[in-house]
Chain A
Amino acid sequence: GENVEQHPSTLSVQEGDSAVIKCTYSDSASNYFPWYKQELGKRPQLIIDIRSNVGEKKDQRIAVTLNKTAKHFSLHITETQPEDSAVYFCAVEGRYSSASKIIFGSGTRLSIRP
């Protein structure tokens, strides 16, 4: 089945600097890659996603890149701010027999130092 690996597990960056989180996956048939942000004590929320026909997608300070040949994708956050502190999960869509399934990475705890 699909396997998703996420690195690093923790990341601390200076406010204003960039943060990069990387994920690899195993199923070459996967074609949807969402990223979720989870603040402390809150529910996961989608922040950006990318589909396999697109190599890069950007939304203000966040961007995601996808390399299907190498089976990896990354989240880039520029000009980090204190409110970016959270746990970030990459995910890959696979299929069960009757519905799509989302396989999550193990998460990256991002801390922004003032």
Chain B
Amino acid sequence: DAGITQSPRHKVTETGTPVTLRCHQTENHRYMYWYRQDPGHGLRLIHYSYGVKDTDKGEVSDGYSVSRSKTEDFLLTLESATSSQTSVYFCAISDRGTSGYEQYFGPGTRLTVT
């Protein structure tokens, strides 16, 4: 597997609390992505980054923010967690932003909001 780690791997939190998930890569890839995976919906893009301090929204970005202060780290923050954000979160990386380059996924973080 590509050098991607996610932390924590599992988290249970209460509604209204802030949560930060971390994605760390050792591949020096420029592009990083956060997805959520829910039954019946496949993988949906939350936010992505195309360089340090360069980020943009995906298709389901409401309620999430991201930051990338170093090439290797991409943080996903839920400012005030809600039960609808219970999901499995995957980080992905890619070394190109142009057509036809594979995305490599991290191991995932299972988040439960009670």
- Measuring CB to CB, which residues of chain A are less than 8 angstroms from any residue of chain B? 1, 6, 9, 31-32, 34, 42-46, 49, 51, 89, 93, 96-107
Give bound CA distance, A100 to B103, whole Å.
10
- Closest Cβ of chain B to A13, distance in Å, is 21
Interface size class, chain B: 20 to 34
Chain B interface SS verdict (over half): loop
- Measuring CB to CB, which residues of chain B are less than 8 angstroms from any residue of chain A? 1, 31, 40-45, 48, 50, 54, 56, 58-59, 90, 94, 96-103, 105-108
* Ranked 6 nearest A-B pairs via Cβ: A104-B42, A99-B97, A43-B105, A32-B100, A104-B43, A98-B50
Number of A-B contacts (CB under 8 A): 64
- Closest Cβ of chain A to B83, distance in Å, is 22
Q: Which A residue sits closest to B45, measured CB to CB?
A: A101
In the complex, what residues of A have CB within 8 A of residue B107's CB? Answer: 42-43
